[in-house]
Chains A and B, each alone.
Chain A
């Protein structure tokens, strides 16, 4: 009797022990499978959401050209079909790539798409932007998914001054794709120079490494531009093309003169009001000529497909250090893409900055949405898109917000 009881006890214990082991084994297997399914669902959702954003223009379709709030979110260019994005709608996205800029004279924050990268600025008043929260609500993912959308040029056209050449301006142009250089690409360029009333237009070609250089030394039809001092300034735009792939880049010679320099701030998106704000260096000016007026000439160029800019609006004026002339409001046309070129000077010091109207006219990137870092599982998907004829890549990162374990 005792033997059978012991036998019973041992068998029950062994059975329970084995059962526990198997349950945990099956459980782990099932959990992994469910997690895999949810991750896959997230990837599908990411692809769908990306197409949803890129293949519809939103409601109203022209919300990118207005400063009111859309009731449907989409970035497609309403004048085209397929993956062509509106250069205007992209401008209105609240940038998450750079910290917002606070301008104490207006007391407003500005979305920072570009703060002086290569002398290029695009700062749009925050109130005119579409923020992440609104976009999430309009896309129907608020509280369930987080996302970040990055629209970046496929072709990187990098332009730098060659510091080894001191007697004249040499510009080194490097055209790189995502995976390799654009060898043998034709490069059309425009040079806006303080000493020339019209932009200089010409073209060149990259070598097998995607590299080209231009010597502005008075030969080969190019003017001599001396940049050893700050007695001149320029803004250079290059558009590369190879096998149907188009990329664009720019370099603007922005310097801080003794009287500071100028930053364009988009104050009113709807009517195109831009503040040419007086910016100082790190320190306020001291006595003497550092408080001199800073003069400027701001010209807006419309950029048609032909890459031949058309001068549209020119405003001349000055700003000074103090309370009254801290900034100068100007108005630019808002219905067509182009760029605002601002030349400023005091005494013999010249500088130039550029502000695009339409993402794509000088190859700016836009990053919009939340921060994917620290999320348990982030999926990405990518599409090739066109912004004003320039090749871009739209990359969407998506993650679930419904707790650990990625609830699909």
Chain B
């Protein structure tokens, strides 16, 4: 009898344990088991309503403006019928205000949002807010930082149809000046001669500079180089000299369009010379120019080499890295361009030039790889000794591509300022709840 009583006592204990366990083991309600992610739904709803800045416009309107009713209808229309909402707008305070957010307006389609709700917030700025973006200067954290833009008044351009070198230079300056420590417009070939001899024009650092040739396929030549030995082989020797100087100063030489080093130009010295197409002040170097430059850059002996190292590869597309940079720097050239002067990759590699940045995706023509646009580093062991940016596109040039190529390579950061000026920012909070169920 005692054992039976003991067993009954045990049963009572287990029953007690079971009841206590059931009491504490609270199962979630069915709604919570498989919930809609209301937070993400709320956030995406606000984004959709702000697609053309409509939400940003409406939340700054006075509470009796009919636009609020539009917003109410739009909210009801874009949310499923079983979802109720409360949209509240707060003004963001700044300065010495005691409260950070001040209530401005609220719209809702239900008195309460039930037992389970979630919210997302979205900060919008008034259209009269000015955003500040402070770019990092190239050279601030290391060497270099000088941008030379060839703007020589005594030279003429070729393959830049529709533009003058001077207008391109000005556009490039506007685009790139904020990103460089020093920007120097090289106003004539005499000044160009100075920097070729390591003389500064405005106290800038010549070493590790970027030099952009805005004259297309033509290169300005200072008068002092219109002589022996530079005029050998139609001035191919001058290109050789340029290659040596790019290597010596570790420059990045940027060719904005066409076949680099195809002509030399100096209005004063080549008065009676024209480039076969009626442009006076210019002499055709032809294909040896590019090869001579590569020889100089690779520190080889000069040799007149007329080998053609380009190919017409047709329509090419921007590389994914440069497409990313488009969004980052807010520069949007057309992603597809026509390339008629793509450079043979193997030839450049033989001169120790390797692509550090593919501006356009390379193209394979019959098993040979061509680069329609790339920035090459000339490597001497592990060291970089000079770089070349070559955009082998057809005319007319889009200088945004040059700018984008340089920015994608140097990657200066953008520091965006916060937009919390008084009465210019509002916080929109959308809270969603589910109707029905338990």
Contact = CB atoms under 8 A, between A and B. Distances in A.
Interface of A: 3-4, 7-8, 10-12, 14-15, 18-19, 22, 25-26, 29, 32-33, 36, 39-40, 42-43, 47, 51, 60-61, 78-79, 81-83, 154-155, 176-185, 242-246, 335, 377, 379-386, 389, 391
A19 B18 CA distance: 12
Contact of A14 (B7, B25, B70, B71): B7
B76 A177 contact: yes
B309 interface: no
A383 B76 contact: no
A178 B36 CA distance: 16
B52 interface: yes
B44 A383 contact: yes
B4 A178 contact: no
Given A61-B320, A381-B36, A382-B41, A7 B2 contact: yes
Given A25-B18, A179-B80, A183-B73, A15 B47 contact: no
B40 interface: yes
A74 to B, nearest CB: 14
B382 interface: no
A43 B11 contact: no
B73 A184 contact: yes
B40 A47 contact: yes
B80 A382 contact: yes
B78 interface: yes
A244 B50 contact: yes
B11 A15 contact: yes
17 contacts: A7-B3, A11-B6, A14-B4, A18-B7, A43-B33, A61-B323, A178-B77, A178-B80, A179-B79, A180-B81, A182-B74, A244-B71, A244-B74, A335-B336, A381-B37, A384-B44, A391-B78
Interface of B: 1-4, 6-8, 10-11, 14-15, 18, 21-22, 25, 27-28, 32-37, 40-41, 44-45, 47-55, 58, 67, 69-81, 83, 320, 323, 327, 336
A60 B319 CA distance: 11
Nearest to A305: B52
Contacts of A181: 77
Contacts of A25: 18
Contacts of A386: 47-48, 51
Nearest to B58: A243
B76 A385 contact: no
Nearest to B55: A244
A154 B51 contact: no
Contact of B49 (A4, A178, A243): A243
Given A43-B34, A384-B44, A244 B21 contact: no
B42 to A, nearest CB: 9
Contact of A243 (B18, B37, B71): B71
A182 to B, nearest CB: 5
Given A7-B4, A43-B35, A243 B74 contact: yes
B28 to A, nearest CB: 6
B47 A83 contact: yes
Nearest to B48: A384
A243 B51 contact: no
B11 A36 contact: no
B378 to A, nearest CB: 30
Nearest to B39: A47
A326 to B, nearest CB: 33
A34 B27 CA distance: 10
Nearest to A389: B51
Given A36-B33, A380-B36, A177 B45 contact: no
Contacts of B80: 178-179, 382
Contacts of B79: 178-179
Contact of B78 (A36, A40, A51, A177): A177
A3 B3 CA distance: 11
A3 B18 CA distance: 32
B78 A11 contact: no
Contacts of A32: 27
A26 B45 contact: no
Nearest to A40: B33
A379 B76 contact: no
B51 to A, nearest CB: 6
A74 B21 CA distance: 46
A180 B84 CA distance: 12
Contacts of A183: 73
A385 B22 contact: no
Contact of B52 (A82, A182, A244, A379): A244
Given A10-B4, A33-B27, A185-B73, 17 more contacts: A3-B1, A10-B3, A18-B7, A22-B18, A43-B33, A61-B323, A154-B77, A177-B74, A177-B77, A179-B76, A242-B74, A244-B52, A377-B34, A381-B40, A384-B48, A386-B47, A391-B48
A7 B3 CA distance: 6
Q: Which 3 residue pairs are nearest across A and B when measured between Cβ atoms?
A: A177-B77, A244-B54, A243-B74
A154 B48 contact: yes
Contacts of B78: 154-155, 177-179, 245, 384, 391
B44 A26 contact: no
A272 to B, nearest CB: 14
A29 B48 contact: no
Nearest to A38: B33
A8 B323 contact: no
B7 A29 contact: no
Contacts of B22: 29
Contacts of B18: 22, 25-26
B341 to A, nearest CB: 23
Contacts of B74: 177, 182, 242-245
A380 B2 CA distance: 58
Nearest to A43: B34
A384 B51 contact: no
A355 to B, nearest CB: 24
Contacts of A29: 21-22, 25
Contacts of B52: 244, 389
Contacts of B71: 243-244
Contacts of B6: 11
Contacts of A40: 28, 32-34
A60 B81 CA distance: 38
Given A244-B52, A384-B47, A39 B25 contact: no
A268 B427 CA distance: 48
B54 A36 contact: no
A334 B37 CA distance: 36
Contacts of A26: 18, 21
A183 B45 CA distance: 19
